[in-house]
Structure formats: C-alpha cells, structure tokens
C-alpha cells in the first residue's frame, strides 16, 4: 500500500509526465494506495495492534501524517471518542458530520436532508480534502477545549507538528507537481482532487456502512449521560459487519469488513478477525445479543443508502448533551 501511494508520486515528481491522462492515472493509483494506508496500516498502528513493538506502531502510525491527515487528532477522534461512544449523538465524532448531512436520528433535521442519500457521495468524495485542510484544525482545537491536551505547551507542540506535516504533504503531493509537471496548473489540481475523491469515497463507504445502517442502534443516555447495558453489548448493537467471506476485500480494506470484532478487540491485528468472528457470533447468539452482518458489500451499501434516506425523513429524538 505504501508503494501504491509513493511510487506514482515519485513518477509524477520526476518530470517525465507530459500527458494529462497518465497524470490522472498516477494520481488515482496513489489514491488507492492512500486509502490502503488509511485502512490497512495506520488504523492498526494507531490502535497499537499492527505490531507487538510499540515503536513499530508509533512510526507506522505516522503514515497517517504522510497522507496529509494527523495521527494525534485521529487517535482522539477514533480510538477514544468513536470506540468509547459509538453511535452516541454529540459524543461520537464519526456521526457528527457537517450540517448538510444527518447521520443520527437524534440530530437536527433540515428539509434538504430528504435528498442526502443522493448528494452524500459528493461529500464522501470530498471528505479527505476537508481532512487535509480544515477538519484537523477544527478538531484539535475542539479536543483542546475538552481537555485532551492538558500538559504545558502540549497543544502548541501538537499544532506545530500538525502544520509541519501538512506542509510536507502539500509540498510533494501538489506544489512540486505544479512546478515540475509541464501541464496547465488546473489540470494538475484537478488530478490531485481526483486522487482525494477516490480515497474519500473508499474510506467513507467502508467506515459508514459499519455504523449508519437500519439494523444498528443509536442509543440515548439518560439525563446524567449514563447508558444502560455494558460496553461490549453496546458495540454489538451499534456495529455491523459485511462481506465476511471475501478474503480479497478483507485484505484490501484492512479487515474492516469485520467491524464488530475490531470494536470489541481493537488491540488485536486485523489479520485475526476472520477466525475470531465465528467465536464472537456464536457467543452473541448464546447470550441473545444481536450480531449484525451483511453478506456482501453491495448489500451493505444499499442498506446504508436506505438508512440515509430514512434519516432524511424522520423527525429527531433529541438526546441530552453528555459532552460540550
């Protein structure tokens, strides 16, 4: 996946590319590699499950920074908030999208949400553009206010690192090609955007069909922010698997078709999820706990579309605030 991302970038910056078609092909191949890095390398590494060696995990986690995002912000957003408060309105940042989208039945509904199942794909495609430009800055500031950077000068240090990594990414992914590739700047920028569109669509589909589905739950805490039940049952109720028999798909997306196993055991490398899944499914059945699964990715995407359509129509059930 690293080669799939980096080799086309090296070729682009070699100055040997002189046709728009080849430029677009190379950028799109890099987009596939970028998605692979996000799902198959940094995801495990930042969870500490890529290797038993913490330094291997630490440095492979920086592959997130290499593709324009930020490992520190992701660790808080994903490892802490998403995995702890899965599908809980106002707490799980994965279901707190821009106002043009509605991912929770407890979120505010606007008239245009009726069409979100149609236009959502444009926003999915642009999601990583948002990531490398504004989203990391917005979230690191929000997380500072939530108390995640409590040590002296910790926030300033992380902010400087965030800016530095983004400057590095923009330098080799866009600025150097603009200086080196003998094509019109608008063509190069459009090819760059096409890379991110491919990455955004792939990553969004894989992560969203695991949680924004008709079968899963969106639990409400009580007035004190307390949820009924235990954390493990919560993960099973709010998460869905798909395509469990596709070894190729599982390899391509870092085992994230087994989202239930990942949520229950995030410290275990994804290569073990398939074997673990039979045990988890049998145990869930034994205790009468739902185990949500779709046989194919196509079926999962179709159900996701139906869920988005439904969320665009139903009136909200307001959840009490548990995080500010």
Distances (CA, A) of 222 to 81, 217, 219, 236, 321: 18, 16, 10, 20, 9
**Residue 152 and residue 282: Cα distance in Å, rounded?**
48
- Phi and psi at residue 137, to the nearest 5°: -70, -40
Which residue range(s) make up the domain with 275? 1-319
In a domain, 215, yes or no: yes
Number of domains into which the chain is organized: 1
| 106 sits in which H/E element | none
Residue 92 has a CB neighbour count (10 Å cut-off) of 23
Segment 241-268 shows an average pLDDT of: 94
Are 197 and 33 a contacting pair, CB within 8 Å? no
In a domain, 204, yes or no: yes
* Rg of the chain over all Cα atoms, to the nearest angstrom: 20
Segment 39-62 shows an average pLDDT of: 94
In a domain, 205, yes or no: yes
In a domain, 324, yes or no: no
Q: What is the DSSP string of 160-185?
A: HHHHHHHHHHHIIIIIHHHHHS-S-H
Q: What is the DSSP letter of 141?
A: H
Q: What is the DSSP letter of 294?
A: E
pLDDT at 185 over 60: yes
**Predicted structure pTM score:** 0.90
Per-residue pLDDT tens over the stretch 223-250:
656 666 788 999 999 999 999 999 999 9
In a domain, 37, yes or no: yes
Segment 206-235 shows an average pLDDT of: 84
Name the one residue in this structure whose structure tokens are 């994903």.
78
Per-residue pLDDT tens over the stretch 153-179:
899 999 999 999 999 999 999 999 999
Per-residue pLDDT tens over the stretch 275-304:
999 999 999 999 999 999 999 999 999 999
Segment 108-113 shows an average pLDDT of: 94
Are 207 and 41 a contacting pair, CB within 8 Å? no
**Per-residue tokens: 60:** 């492979």
- Phi and psi at residue 242, to the nearest 5°: -155, 155
């Amino acid at each position: 996946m690293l080669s799939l991302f980096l080799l086309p970038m090296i070729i682009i910056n070699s100055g040997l590319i002189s046709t728009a078609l080849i430029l677009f092909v190379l950028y799109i191949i890099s987009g596939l590699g970028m998605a692979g890095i996000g799902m198959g390398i940094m995801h495990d590494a930042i969870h500490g499950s890529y290797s038993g060696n913490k330094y291997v995990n630490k440095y492979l986690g920086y592959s997130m920074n290499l593709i324009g995002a930020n490992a520190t912000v992701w660790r808080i957003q994903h490892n802490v908030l998403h995995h702890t408060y899965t599908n809980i309105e106002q707490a799980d940042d994965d279901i707190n999208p821009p106002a043009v989208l509605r991912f929770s039945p407890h979120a505010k509904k606007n008239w245009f949400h009726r069409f979100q199942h149609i236009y959502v794909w444009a926003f999915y495609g642009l999601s990583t553009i948002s990531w490398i430009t504004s989203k990391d800055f917005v979230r690191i500031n929000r997380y500072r206010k939530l108390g995640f950077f409590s040590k002296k000068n910790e926030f300033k240090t992380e902010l400087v690192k965030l800016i530095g990594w983004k400057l590095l990414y923009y330098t080799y992914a866009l600025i150097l090609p603009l200086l080196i590739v003998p094509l019109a700047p608008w063509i190069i920028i459009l090819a760059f955007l096409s890379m991110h569109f491919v990455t955004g669509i792939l990553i969004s589909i894989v992560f969203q069909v695991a949680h924004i589905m008709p079968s899963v739950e969106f639990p409400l805490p009580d007035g004190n922010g307390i949820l009924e039940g235990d954390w493990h049952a919560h993960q099973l109720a709010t998460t869905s698997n798909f395509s469990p028999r596709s070894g190729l798909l599982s390899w391509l997306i870092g085992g994230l078709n087994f989202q239930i196993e990942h949520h229950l055991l995030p410290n275990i490398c994804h290569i073990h999820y398939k074997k673990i899944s039979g045990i988890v499914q049998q145990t869930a059945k034994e205790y009468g706990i739902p185990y949500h699964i779709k046989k194919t990715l196509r079926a999962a995407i179709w159900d996701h579309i139906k869920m988005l359509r439904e969320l665009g129509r139903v009136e909200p059930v307001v959840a009490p605030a548990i995080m500010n």
